[in-house]
Amino acid sequence: MSNDELLEILAKANDMQAINKHIKKCFDNIHKLDLGPDPKSILVEGMISGEGERIAFIKVISTKAEIETWLNVV
């Protein structure tokens, strides 16, 4: 991940669509985070792999906290 991409994630911490386009560079085989039916949701319900598999989290993750905190939970 480049410095510019990391800065974009930090600058757009409330924009899940902007974060989702970089998530595959943060984690192995996580293509994007599953936000459920609402693409503007602040809740992460699971993850979607590069093969299209959806894996639900046991506990929904709120993105209201600092981005470093909830990304660490992911």
Q: How many structural domains is the chain composed of?
A: 1
- CA 54 from chain centre, in angstroms, equals 13
The whole domain housing 12 covers: 3-73
Per-residue pLDDT of the chain (74 residues; tens, 9 = 90+): 788 888 888 888 788 888 888 888 888 888 999 988 887 788 899 999 989 999 999 999 988 888 888 888 88
Q: What is the DSSP letter of 11?
A: H
User: Would you state the pLDDT for residue 22?
Assistant: 85
State the CATH number of the domain containing residue 7.
3.20.180.20
Q: What are the backbone angles phi and psi of residue 26, rounded to the nearest 5°?
A: -90, -35
